[in-house]
Structure 1
Amino acid sequence: MPRLSPVLLAGLLAIGAGGALGGVGAEQKAERVGDTRACIPNGAIVSRVVEDEQTLSFELLGGRRYRNRLSGPCPGLRQAGSGFGALGFEVHGSSLCRGDLLRIVDTARGETSNIRTATACPLGAFERLPDRELPRR
């Protein structure tokens, strides 16, 4: 079994403590408008909007917003976003990530029973947008 040196172990503990205490790290930098991140937490998504055949935007709890541009147009995305079809995400884990598949299901043709045969488009990176201002109480 490999052994960790005391210096390396102390460094790893310091990094872990900094993250737990909200220290400055790569994730905090990714929170600036225009920065990108690979994943967003699935359980924090409160809404999504189809912007066009290649772009979706997501709003998370607390008003944080992200835009996802697919690598190319996804046939049927605009129609599904308008209510003429359904969107499904093939997710591996508790986050929606770059490379996860967006599936467009044509509900008019009764394809809802087999989402794996629906049109599949891989997600891109998530670009941070300005927060939506929440109403003051």
Structure 2
Amino acid sequence: MRASMLIAAIGLAGCTASSEMMASQQAEAQKDLASALGDRVAGAPRDCISVTDSDGPQIIDDHTILYKPLGRTLWRNDLGSSCPGLRPYTTLIVEVHGSQICRNDRFRVLDPGSSIPSAYCMFGKFTPYEKAR
């Protein structure tokens, strides 16, 4: 009886630590997103962005990617569903067809030091954020 109570207590402690870690990661992601967006204003979402108009992705969390601008517009992509393994410092392997990345285009995630990419994930709509004039 005592052993099962001890195992249950250890399990609950693990859940608490895990939920605290997830809350910390979510808070960090929100801070990074707020910092990147700054005082920019959101525009109407679009289906595609040009590959050449961006300096590459900044991964915020498992469902938010920012494409940093070469010009004035920063692009935010909110995935339709979370992408397992997508987190800061992972590499995106994007299937580009033509000169644009579009909603529903597929990509995979590669962890640092790994050679096996994740399952496929899909982009959502791209929301432009521009600096207030």
TM, length-normalised to structure 2: 0.61
Q: Which residue number in structure 2 is paired with residue 102 of structure 1?
A: 107
Q: How far apart, in 2, do the equivalents of 1:61 and 1:90 lie?
A: 21
Structure 1, unaligned runs of 5 or more:
1-31
Output the amino acid matched with 1:119.
Answer: A
Q: Which residue number in structure 1 is paired with residue 93 of structure 2?
A: 88
Contact 1:65 1:132 in 2 (8 A): no
Aligned length: 93
Structure 2, unaligned runs of 5 or more:
1-40
Q: How far apart, in 1, do the equivalents of 2:113 and 2:119 lie?
A: 14
Q: Root-mean-square deviation (CA), in Å?
A: 2.2
Deviations 1:92-130 (A, max 9, x none): 11101101112112343422xxx5xx3211100101113
Q: Which residue number in structure 1 is paired with residue 79 of structure 2?
A: 70
TM, length-normalised to structure 1: 0.60
Q: How far apart, in 2, do the equivalents of 1:54 and 1:33 lie?
A: 18
* 1:132, distance to aligned residue in structure 2 (A): 8.6
Output the amino acid matched with 1:64.
Answer: T
Q: How far apart, in 2, do the equivalents of 1:72 and 1:33 lie?
A: 21
